[in-house]
Structures are given as structure tokens and as C-alpha cells.
Structure 1
Amino acid sequence: MVRDVRIALQLQPQHADYRRIRDTVAEAEQLGVDIIFNWDHFYPLSGDPDGLHYECWTMLAAWAEQTSRVEFGALVTCNSYRNPDLLADMARTVDNISDGRLILGIGSGWFEKDYQEYGYEFGTPGSRLDALAEALPRIERRLSVINPPPVRKIPFLIGGGGEKKTLRLVAKYADIWHSFADAEVLPRKSAILAEHCAAVGRDPAEIEISVSVAGRGQSAKPDELGPQFVDLGATLFTVGVSGPDHDLSQLRDWITWRDGFKR
């Protein structure tokens, strides 16, 4: 399966007021980005730990109304924070508001401060992954019976690279896998994902591979890093930006590269 290269912006909902975030969403859509993500936390992950920060899903509902072309979602929703059936209902509603442009990104959760401050049980990495494994079929079932249904089959994005549990869930449920892996690690993770796909009877080519390419320590230029990742099977490239100023220069570079890229 040959996929088009796509560029995403992760607009981190921290250290900027909402007017600034809204303006950046509009600018990114105008620039031609394919997807806009936020994240699902309650406090900043960098900078002032008590700085400005907004909630994920109420923001996604606003983006559903504000935008007209881009896909959007969370990179990623924390499974721990919401009843799975409620999350499915929220996703269906936002998908309907946007006329079918939501991506349901989900993961098991990791940021302990969120849990402590908001009263969720933190557990262990294993228990959180087990909870995600229990939630995913519930989400699928609720989406299949809810009225009205989603506009489209909502794509599931699962984030993470745990080789025993997370990649097994990716093989079974995901349409997109956000690997969090660099170019050195991705081949091994992809091979393990292929093994899990074989075990559940699925073609790994059905799963789009997503990577972060800016804003998380990656500094190579798109024409250097992009083809390298494409050769490894990745086609979705995410640039992260944070407040208070949203510098979209790297995003512009990646969009320019996308538009001129030929396999």
C-alpha cells in the first residue's frame, strides 16, 4: 500500500491563551497542514509547571467548528481520564460536528501529576495498559451502536512503543501508530509490530506509521530526515509547537517538503 505523505501539527495547549491557540489553528490550516493535534494533559509538560494550560476534548470540539478541511484529534487521549463508553460518545459527537474529520488518538497515560491532582488512580504502566486493552473494545462497541453514528469509521491512533502490550494493541485496533521512535529505533519496533499483526491476522500495511520530527529534539531538515523515515515506512510527520509564541517555521518547511516529495 502506497500512502501519501502527510504533515501534522501538534499544537501543545500550554503557555498561550486560547485566542493565540485559535489563531494558530487557523494559520496552520491555511498553510495546508493535513492534521492538527493537541494533547490530553491538565498541566504543562515543559516550562512553568503551573503555567497556562487547557483541557483536550473541549478544545477539540471548538476546533471541529473552527476548521473546515483538516483532520484533528489528540496526540493522545489518556484512557484513564474518561469512561470508555463516554469517550466513544464524545468522539462521535465531535466527529459529527466536524462532518467526519476526527482522529481518535489514545494511549494508556503516563503523567503522574495529572493523576494525583485530579484524583485518578495512577497504578502501574502494566495496569494502565491492561485498562486500555479493556477500553478499546468497549469504545468500538459503543461507536457501533450509538445513534446517530459517526460520520465515518473514526480512525484510531494508538501512541507508544511498548513491545509486548502496546504494539499488540496497535496490531489489533489501530489505523495509525504514533511510534515516538527515532530512525534508529523504528525498524526494530516496526518488525515487532509486524509479528503482532501476523498473530492477529492483520496486514501491517493497513496501519499508517506516524513519527515526531520537530519540537521533540529532532533537528534535521525535512529533505534529510523525511526520505529516511519514508524508507522505513513512516508517512505521517508531526511538528510540535508550544506557547507563548507558536513558531510555525518548521511546519512550513515540512509542508514545502511534502509538496515537492516524490518517491
Structure 2
Amino acid sequence: MTPNTAPVRLGVQLQPQHATYTQIRDAVLRMEDLGVDVVMNWDHFFPLSGDPDGLHFEAWTMLGAWAEQTERVEFGSLVNCNSYRNADLQADMARTLDHMSAKGGDVGRFIFGTGSGWFQRDYDEYGYEFGTVGSRLDDLAEALPRVKARWAKLNPAPTRDIPIMIGGKGEQKTLRLVAEHADIWHSFVRPDELGHKVDVLKRWGEKVGRDVSGITISNELPRRSLDDAYADALHDAGVRLFTLGISGPHYDDAAVKHWLAWRDRRNEEAGVRAA
């Protein structure tokens, strides 16, 4: 899994709820100026907390603006819902964002985060079939090879091998998909559970014939406290991409600054630099 020598990176999920687009745009620029490594939104159609009918914006359209307005940070959704868009269309959209974010001849900065979906209101109000947890995971399993096959056909091709992030922790289906396809595995798994999940992932890697040692482990930072001990435990368990979710309307960056300082301290102690 993530090599111990890999740098700690910080991703901030700017939840696109309860804020004007101007507030979201300003927050993206502020995150880049502060030095975060990745900025993300989420792929929903309604708020997940607070007023359920509050202000909210669509994910992929927003990412096109982020591709243009940022210069350094990687970006994407944490995570895309596979159910909402045709797999080949997702691939083309991702490739386009990859090119939009390549500045001055550099490669693109888009991360294709994806998952099977779970928020039933999105499905019901937008006319998608909700199905079951199993059927949605089966749909994701069918979509991922199509995404990669479409990337191989597109002209122009992506500027780089677009990193695939898969979210979830299910041992029978999700971790198999991670072993087969992911560059980054994201979950909410606690430090004391992470070793077991990593062992399951390694076993899936053996079964599907892929070395999973290079997969980056991503996890959530505490949402309501600045708990360095918890983050240290995640780090000791192999996490190297730490994500922090913050909501509108103000996108308070106090916690972001705390975790940036923690990131820099951990990297300095290890003698590595953030990518």
C-alpha cells in the first residue's frame, strides 16, 4: 500500500451547499493560496446537512470552472456518482477536464473520484433508478472498464493516466474494484479497522493479479475536532491523503490551516516534501 516514504497530502472538500457560487469560487482560490494539495466537491443535487432545500450546485459543471481558475492544485469530486451519467460520457468529461487543467504544457490535474451512489433523494427527484447497494456496485463494476477503454480511444488522449479514486469499504465488491482499478482508495475507516481492510485489499490484489502496493490510502480527518492523535494513528496505519470537508456559506479555513501545519510537520519529520 502507500509507501511509508510517500508525502502526506491534504485535500479539502468544499461542499457545494448553502453558499453562492461566488463564495465557492473564492474558497477554491483561497484553498490554493493556502497550499492545500487537492480541492474537491461532491456529486449530489441537494444539501446533505442543514436545510435540505438550501442552496446547492451541480458538481461536474463546477469542476470545469475550477480547472480554469486554479493553477497548481489537483481537483475532482469526492466522489462522482456513477449512476448519474453514462460511463463513456464520464470518461470524456474527465478527459476534457484533464486538458482544461493542463497549464503551460504541463499535464492535467483532474482526479477521477467515483463511487456507486447512495443518496436516494438524488435518484428519486432526478429520475434515476435507485436499485440496491448490490446493483449499484454492479453498475460501477461494469462502468469502470468502459471508462478506461474510452480514455484509450479519445482524440486527443488524456494528458496523463488520470488517477482513479474509488470510495467505499465493502469487502466483497468495493475493495475488489479498488484492487482492479484504483490509484487511490478513499474511506471513512477508523485507524483500528484499517489494517484489516488493507489485508482484504491485498488479497483481492492477489486474486485479480494486480500489485496493490502503490495504491494511495485516503481517509477523512475528524470533522468536529482538531484531533492530532487520531490523524497520527491514521498516518501510522498508512494513510497519506487526508481529506477535510467544510461547508458553506463561509468555508471557515481555521481547521484547514491547522491540518496544513500538521501535514508540513509530518513531512518534515519524515524528510519528504508534498508532491
**In which range does the TM-score fall when normalised by the shorter chain?**
over 0.9
**Structure 2 counterpart of 1:241:** 246
For structure 2, which runs of at least 5 residues remain unmatched after alignment? 103-107, 271-275
1:145 Cα offset (Å) = 0.9
**5 Å matches for 1:113-124?**
113-124=121-132
**Structure 2 counterpart of 1:31:** 34
1:225 Cα offset (Å) = 2.5
**Structure 1 counterpart of 2:9:** 6
Q: Normalized against structure 1, the TM-score is what?
A: 0.97
1:15 equivalenced with 2:15 (yes/no):
no
Q: Distance in 2 between matches of 1:88 and 1:255?
A: 32
For structure 1, which runs of at least 5 residues remain unmatched after alignment? none
1:145 equivalenced with 2:153 (yes/no):
yes
**5 Å matches for 1:99-178?**
99=102, 100-178=108-186
**Structure 2 counterpart of 1:51:** 54
1:259 Cα offset (Å) = 1.1
Q: Distance in 2 between matches of 1:245 and 1:188?
A: 38
**Structure 2 counterpart of 1:221:** 227
**Structure 1 counterpart of 2:265:** 260
- Match of 1:185, SS? helix
| Equivalent position amino acid for 1:137 in 2 | P
Structure number with the bigger relative contact order (C-alpha 8 A, sep ≥ 6) is 2
C-alpha contact (below 8 Å) 1:214/1:240 kept by paired residues: no
| Aligned pair partner of 1:192 in 180, 185, 200 | 200
Runs of 4+ in structure 1 deviating by more than 3 angstroms, as ranges, are none
Give aligned-pair identity as a percent. 58
- 239-248 or 64-73: bigger deviation: 239-248
| Aligned pairs, number | 260
1:185 Cα offset (Å) = 2.0
| Equivalent position amino acid for 2:32 in 1 | E
Q: Normalized against structure 2, the TM-score is what?
A: 0.92
C-alpha contact (below 8 Å) 1:71/1:103 kept by paired residues: yes
C-alpha contact (below 8 Å) 1:179/1:186 kept by paired residues: no
Q: Distance in 2 between matches of 1:204 and 1:77?
A: 22
Q: Distance in 2 between matches of 1:122 and 1:92?
A: 27
| Equivalent position amino acid for 1:237 in 2 | F
Computed over aligned residues only, the root mean square deviation of the Cα atoms, in angstroms, reads 1.0
| Equivalent position amino acid for 1:27 in 2 | R
C-alpha contact (below 8 Å) 1:214/1:250 kept by paired residues: no
**Structure 1 counterpart of 2:82:** 79
C-alpha contact (below 8 Å) 1:214/1:238 kept by paired residues: no
Q: Distance in 1 between matches of 2:39 and 2:264?
A: 18
Q: Could you give the per-residue CA deviations for residues 90-144 of structure 1, whole angstroms, max 9, x where no partner exists?
A: 0000110001000000000000000000000000000000000000000000001
Q: Distance in 2 between matches of 1:214 and 1:241?
A: 11
- 251-260 or 78-87: bigger deviation: 251-260
1:73 Cα offset (Å) = 0.3
**Structure 2 counterpart of 1:66:** 69
